[in-house]
Structure 1
Amino acid sequence: MKRDWDLIRTLLVEIEGLGIGQHFTPHDFAGHSSEAVTYHIHLMGQAGLIEWANHPWNGEPVVIAKSLTLAGHDLLDIIRDGDIWSTCKAQLQERLGGVSYEALMQFNLASRQQRTAALNGNAAFK
Structure 2
Amino acid sequence: MKRDWDLIRKQLTDVEEENDLFADIPPEPAWKDQEFPVYEKQLNEYRAIEGRIFGHLELLVNSGYIDGLQLIRSADGLFSYGLHSPRLTMAGHDLLDTMRSATIWENIKATAKTKGIELTFDAIKALGTLALKSAFE
Calculate the TM-score normalised by the size of structure 1. 0.70
**Cα RMSD for the two superposed structures:** 2.8
Is the contact made by 2:71 and 2:82 (CA closer than 8 Å) also made in structure 1?
A: yes
Calculate the TM-score normalised by the size of structure 2. 0.65
User: What percent of counterpart residues are identical?
Assistant: 28
SS in 2 for 1:33: helix
After the TM superposition, which parts of structure 1 deviate over 4 Å for at least 4 consecutive aligned residues? 111-116
Q: Which residue of 2 aligns with 1:74?
A: 94
**Per-residue deviation, 1:85:** 0.7
Specify every segment of 5 or more residues in structure 2 that has no aligned partner in the other structure, as ranges: 27-47, 73-78
Do residues 54 (structure 1) and 71 (structure 2) align? yes
Q: What is the alpha-carbon distance in structure 2 between the residues aligned to residue 85 and residue 115 of structure 1?
A: 12
Q: What is the alpha-carbon distance in structure 2 between the residues aligned to residue 76 and residue 111 of structure 1?
A: 15
One-letter amino acid of the counterpart of residue 78, structure 1: T
Deviation string, structure 1 residues 22-59 (Cα, Å, up to 9, x no partner): x7347528xx812111000000111111112137xxxx
Aligned residues: 108
Deviation string, structure 1 residues 54-73 (Cα, Å, up to 9, x no partner): 37xxxx72255811111111
Specify every segment of 5 or more residues in structure 1 that has no aligned partner in the other structure, as ranges: 119-126
